[in-house]
Structure 1
Amino acid sequence: MSSKTGRTLYSRAGLRKVHGISEPTLQNLWTDRENNGHPPVADTIDGVMHWDGDAWATWHHELQRQRAAANTTNPPKLDGDPEEMVGPAEAAKICGFADSATVSHYVKNPPEGWPAPDDWDELPTRRRPKWKRWRLWQYLADRKGRGHAGGRPTGRRGLAYPYQGDERLTLARQAIAANPGAKNADLIPELQGQTEKTYSRPTWNLILKSAREHPEE
């Protein structure tokens, strides 16, 4: 359903259908909106809350990226287009695996939370699975165990907190220090002009949240 501005709006049922996320998870994300930066309701139609589809997807992808970074022991690869399809080799890099053998094993014997392939490449002698990047980020963010895939204990090399070492976190800290009473809505327009790439408001909300919780390195 489109709003008067031409933006596509989704109810919670719509988000569930489009993104394949369960109703309880969507409810929990909304309940925790003060902490996770969940986008506000764009409109209420017949008593049902609706959200801007693009804004919600951008926010959710960034949330998964952030959680994956904080929940991964091996250095993950968390850049790239969230919707891009990747094969086993790239999936291994995203997940911080040593090689694609772990991915191949997971396809045949998936651990809890491992996503089913979004598509398959039909090769002459076999089929090669493909996933959207954000589904792998979501797996990293939600997985129960953080140990090495083979069970060998490793030192934690993930982030101590979201956006640790990110230059945007430094900018956010500086903005908060210069304007201690300002709200995120007041700080974000200025921050958006300080980076070469323009990041969304949901992304800056998450970065500012981390900056307020961790004012120093």
Structure 2
Amino acid sequence: MKTVDGRQWATREDLIEHSGYGETTLKRLWRDRRANGHPGDRAFDGLMHWDMNAWDTWFAKYRERPRDLSGVDRSGDPDEQLPPAGQARVLGVDPARITQYGKTPPPGWPDPVRVEELPTRNREYRTRAQLWAWVDDPISGFGTKGGRPPGPDPKARARAAKVLDARVRLATEALAAMPDLKAGEVAAALAERHGQGVDTWKRIVTQARKQSQQQEAR
């Protein structure tokens, strides 16, 4: 801790000790400062410092943001180890959210208790107790509206459209390669091969069929 003109300035290590949160969490809060209003820094001796009073005031308000946790499932064995689909059911979110958390973890997202290695990816398991503790901690930001203005994020929408187009192509190829199978069976094969839920692939297979029919009708 450094005192300048009667004000205390804290390094990240000081903030870790002061707040009780880890370095990864505090780095994410700083990374998202444009959205969450994190105070700016000041360099002393080549190190980043933050005004302790300003940071404390901001952090208290950050933790008090209104949140909606009504969709969280509080039932079941706290120690049960859940795959991503089960984690999504506990949190009341789409399984794609858990996938996104794996790529860009939100503050405080718990480490997996077990990792299952699959041919194309790793499947991370977390317990209900971990998930409940995470959503109950305001630092998670779960249940808040976030800092981005209302409406779909154009970049995220473009990325999602690109991913969907790729999956529709996979479904179209699978339908052509397995013409005797029902849509649900094709979806199950795609889910086994590429991940994601069978219901998700059913919707994609349906879309692929519609697009093929529209092209044939032209």
Q: Would you say same fold, with TM above 0.5?
A: no
TM-score category of the 2 structures, normalised to the smaller one: 0.3 to 0.5
TM-score by length of 2: 0.36
Higher relative contact order (CA 8 A, sep 6+): 1
Larger Rg: 2
TM-score by length of 1: 0.36
